[in-house]
Structure formats: C-alpha cells, structure tokens
Amino acid sequence: MMDKLLFFILSLLIGYLKSQPLPNCEFIDYYGRYYDFSPMEQSVGYEVTLNDLTYIVSVCNTNSYCEMVTGVQGTASCGSENEGKYINMGQYSTMTLGDLPYLVGNPSLQGAQLNYTTNSGCFNGKKGTMTTQINLVCQPGQDNLITSSGLYDECLAYMTLEGDGPCPFQNVSSSSDNSNQFECHFLGDSVAVVYPNQQITCTGQGKTVCSYSSDNDGNLSTCASNSDILCQTQGEIQCFGENLVCSHNSFSCGFQNGKPFYPNQN
Ligand SMILES: *[C@@H]1O[C@H](CO)[C@@H](O)[C@H](O)[C@H]1NC(C)=O
Ligand SMILES: *[C@@H]1O[C@H](CO)[C@@H](O)[C@H](O)[C@H]1NC(C)=O
Ligand SMILES: *[C@@H]1O[C@H](CO)[C@@H](O)[C@H](O)[C@H]1NC(C)=O
C-alpha cells in the first residue's frame, strides 16, 4: 500500500519534472525537493589542495581568478597539478545539474551533482573533454567546504562540496533575515511558497503533489491526489499541479490551467 502510494507520487513528480528545461542554479531532485544554488555564488569561489592537486571552482558563476590564471573567459573551474600551470577545467555555460549518485532509495541524502565541461583539453596536455564533477551535499548549518577532491582520470576531476548552501528550499528561508513575507518562487511546473512561521494552505484540482518539511530535521511529508488535495503546513511548501492555490489569508499564488499566478498584495 505504502509502496504503491510512493510509486504513484514519484511517477507524478517525474512526469512533471521531465516536461521542461530548468533554469540555471535551480534544481528539483528525484524526491521533488527544490534547490536554488545561487546563494552559494561568491567572488573568490571555493578552493582545495589535496595530493598536489589544487582546484578552484565557483558554483553557478564564472570564477574571476580562474579567468585570470587561465586567460579563458567564462571558466568556472580551474586546477593545477604540482603547482604547475592552471588549466581550464570547465566553462560556466556548460553547467548541468543532476541527482546525486545513490540518491534513489536514500532520501536522507540532499543535494545535487553539478558538472562543468570544456573542450580545451585535460591534465598532462591530454586532448579531450575535461569534466569537473561536483557533488553538492547538504549539511544543515555547516559552512560550505570542499571535503574531498581528486582526479578519476586526466579528464575527470571530482569534488564534494558540503555545507548549508546545497540544502533544499524547505527550511532555508528561516536563515535569511529579510524574508518575513509571503513569497512564491516558480520553477517550471512547480511553485515553492514561503511564509516564515505562518500557516500555508494549498488546494488543488486534478493531479497535484505537494511536499513540505514535517519537522526541524528536514524530514519531508508529501500529499498527493488525482482529484482534490488539501495540504496545510507552517512556513514552506512546494507543489506541482495545473490548478492549485496556496494561500494565507489574502495572500495567494499558484497555477491556473497551468499558468502561474503571483501573490496579490492586498
Ligand atoms: C557529470 O559527469 C559524469 C562523468 O561524465 C557523468 O557520469 C554524470 O552523469 C554527470 N552528471 C551531470 C549532472 O551532468
Ligand atoms: C530548520 O530551521 C530551524 C529553525 O531555524 C532550525 O532549528 C533547524 O535546524 C533547521 N533544520 C534544517 C534541516 O535546516
Ligand atoms: C526524521 O529524520 C531523522 C533523521 O533522518 C530520523 O531519525 C527521524 O526518525 C525522522 N522523524 C520522523 C518523524 O520521521
């Protein structure tokens, strides 16, 4: 029974997710959790040196230091071996986001995999496509740090970047100070609604799925239905559906026949 329900929810979600391209920096994972990595941008990027390899990367941005040392505009990632010359390890324009490996069946894992690539060659002068593969892993409340890194081969570098930055949208608003208002963030067919410490009620007609964190540990609850749906929670919720309304008193937003509508400011 539970398995059937879960399968139903997941197939709904996947159906929605496959239907359109997502903008940079925003991502919805296999479990329907919404991420926005743009707050992880910082001008200096992230740096790590391990076993004679130094990597410098930016998340969702070009890296000005890499642009300087490689002489390549638009690079987001660069590296050097044995303190040698920095090579370009990937252009920002090639960024892709996908699910973390082992995410399926492991919902307590939260985050995404980010790749950059470039055709300008690999380490040791090897020709080919260089890929930087960064596993962004949520660790609530922790500083963002690269915790492991290395080369699978001359053309494939990997890193794990852990911290609060890669945590899903649920609960992140509690840490930002100027967001004490009703907000709706649209991402393709989904809307994430935030109203810190206030009750949010969502109703939908037709296929609708909503998820929200059910406790301070970030555990997610889901409500889903083929006909009518009513979800109620505090603070944050994310929903998919063609016809849905999330509201608190006079504030509301959602989708009407698949078209987003924004909060009224009464
Ligand atoms: C990142 O690159 C690796 C190696 O090419 C690939 O296996 C993986 O699917 C890519 N992930 C994303 C999110 O593009
Ligand atoms: C969610 O927010 C609460 C209140 O700020 C905090 O105590 C809790 O640790 C947060 N949980 C996660 C998973 O970030
Ligand atoms: C919430 O998640 C934590 C850590 O994953 C787990 O130990 C706890 O049992 C979960 N609580 C509920 C109510 O599912």
Minimum mean pLDDT range among 30-34, 49-53, 94-98, 209-213? 30-34
Q: How far is the CA of 56 from the centre of ligand 1 (A)?
A: 19
pLDDT surpasses 50 at 260: yes
Among the listed residues 180, 183, 128, the one whose alpha carbon sits nearest the alpha carbon of residue 157: 128
221 in ligand 3 pocket by Cβ < 6 Å? Answer: no
pLDDT at 255: 94
Spans of all domains in the chain = 2-17+169-254, 35-163
pLDDT surpasses 50 at 265: no
Comparison of pLDDT for 29 and 156, the residue scoring more: 156
Comparison of pLDDT for 222 and 232, the residue scoring more: 232
- Report, as an integer, the average pLDDT of 175-186: 70
Minimum mean pLDDT range among 50-54, 108-112, 133-137, 169-173? 169-173
Of the candidate CATH numbers 3.40.710.10, 2.70.130.10, 3.40.190.290, 3.40.50.10210, the domain formed by 35-163 belongs to 2.70.130.10
Tens digits of per-residue pLDDT, 10-21? Answer: 554 544 444 333
pLDDT surpasses 50 at 245: yes
Ligand 2 site-directed mutation target among 33, 109, 170, 171, most atoms within 8 Å of CB:
171
217 in ligand 3 pocket by Cβ < 6 Å? Answer: yes
pLDDT at 179: 58
pLDDT at 226: 65
Q: Quick one: pLDDT band at residue 58, thresholds 50, 70, 90?
A: very high
Which residue's CA is the closest to the ligand 1 atom numbered 3? 133
Q: How far is the CA of 208 from the centre of ligand 3 (A)?
A: 25
Which residue's CA is the closest to the ligand 3 atom numbered 14? 219
Q: Which ligand is nearest to the CA of 109?
A: 3
Q: Which ligand is nearest to the CA of 115?
A: 1
Q: Average pLDDT over the chain, rounded to whole?
A: 83
The CB density around residue 232, as the number of other CB atoms within 10 Å, is 13
Q: Quick one: pLDDT band at residue 216, thresholds 50, 70, 90?
A: low
113 in ligand 1 pocket by Cβ < 6 Å? Answer: yes
Q: How far is the CA of 236 from the centre of ligand 2 (A)?
A: 12
Instruction: Concatenate the DSSP letters of all residues of the chain into one string.
Output: -HHHHHHHHHHHHHHHHTTSPPPTTEEE-TT--EEE-GGG--TT-EEEEETTEEEEE-SSS--HHHHHHH--TTEEEEEEETT---EEEEEEEEEEEEPPTT-TT-TT--EEEEEEEESS--GGG--S-EEEEEEEEE-TTPPPEEEEEEEEETTEEEEEEEESTTS-STTGGGG-TT--S-EEEEETTEEEEEEEEEEEEEEEEEEEEEEEE-STT--EEEEEESSEEEEEEEEEEEEEEEEEEEEETTEEEEEETTEEEPPP--
- Report, as an integer, the average pLDDT of 64-76: 95
Q: What percent of the chain has pLDDT over 90?
A: 49
Highest-scoring range by mean pLDDT, 27-36, 171-180, 233-242 = 233-242
Nearest ligand 1 atom to alpha carbon 113: 13
pLDDT at 210: 87
pLDDT surpasses 80 at 73: yes
140 in ligand 2 pocket by Cβ < 6 Å? Answer: yes
19 in ligand 3 pocket by Cβ < 6 Å? Answer: no
